[in-house]
């Protein structure tokens, strides 16, 4: 993943330069300096890259970190323009920083209790800020049917989605009027993850599933 993120950063830098120099009217309409305009575009690109995995509290928080990292990336490009030797140091430090960032789990939990069976997972907690993943092995051609129930005692936000073993978001089909009763026709074998997210939430949730 790190090479892709770094490539994204380089491509974003090129696109931003094109926007700044080829569309000068946009900068004029915003009435900002070129440095401010470019720094803002870097922050937007740093935030946006994490949202391709779905909009939830975890990716929003990671996006904020990404925006700050992109701003540092921008400062580094400016320094590299002034100091030739810094270009090589910058080329090493930024991928290393991204690698470290992507290994950090920002999820925070407290009072967590859980119970898992072959077809269900139940958890209750005093605090969840981030995500919890439930790995489930699926084979090609299987039909995975899942239902999800979340009870919050403090009214905080929560979410639910599925990812494959490549950490890609997987779309599911509704099979009734119940928005939390879904099915997935498995096209590729692997370990899929039912991902439950919460933003400073207290309560409990239950995930039940069948595999046909």
The per-residue pLDDT for 126 is 94
CB contact at 8 A, 130 and 195: no
Mean pLDDT, the chain, rounded, equals 80
What are the residue ranges spanned by the domains of the chain?
A: 2-102, 108-211
Report field, pTM of the whole predicted structure over 0.85: no
Q: Does domain 108-211 have CATH number 2.60.120.380?
A: yes
The per-residue pLDDT for 25 is 67
| 122: alpha, beta or left? (left if phi > 0; alpha if psi -120 to 50) | beta
CA dist list (Å): 114 to 14, 121, 149, 151, 203: 47, 7, 15, 15, 12
- Chain segment 124-178, per-residue pLDDT in tens: 999 998 889 999 999 999 999 999 999 999 988 888 889 998 888 888 888 877 7
């Amino acid at each position: 993943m790190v090479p892709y993120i770094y490539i994204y950063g380089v491509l974003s830098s090129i696109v931003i330069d094109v926007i700044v120099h080829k569309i000068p009217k946009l900068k004029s309409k915003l009435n900002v300096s070129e440095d401010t305009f470019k720094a803002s575009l870097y922050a937007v690109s740093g935030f946006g890259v994490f949202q391709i995995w779905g909009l939830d509290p975890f990716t929003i928080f990671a996006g904020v970190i990404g925006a700050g990292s992109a701003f540092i990336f921008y400062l580094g490009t400016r320094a590299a323009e002034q100091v030739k030797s810094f270009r090589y140091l910058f080329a090493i430090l930024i991928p290393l920083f991204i690698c470290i960032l992507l290994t950090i789990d920002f999820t925070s939990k407290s009072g967590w209790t859980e119970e898992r069976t072959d077809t269900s997972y139940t958890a209750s907690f005093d605090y969840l800020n981030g995500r919890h993943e439930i790995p489930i092995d699926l084979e090609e051609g299987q039909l995975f049917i899942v239902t999800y129930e979340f009870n919050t005692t403090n009214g905080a936000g929560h979410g639910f989605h599925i990812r494959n073993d490549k950490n890609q978001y997987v779309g599911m089909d509704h099979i009734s009027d119940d928005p939390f009763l879904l099915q997935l026709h498995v096209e590729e074998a692997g370990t899929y993850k039912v991902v439950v997210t919460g933003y400073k939430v207290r309560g409990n949730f239950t995930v039940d599933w069948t595999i046909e």
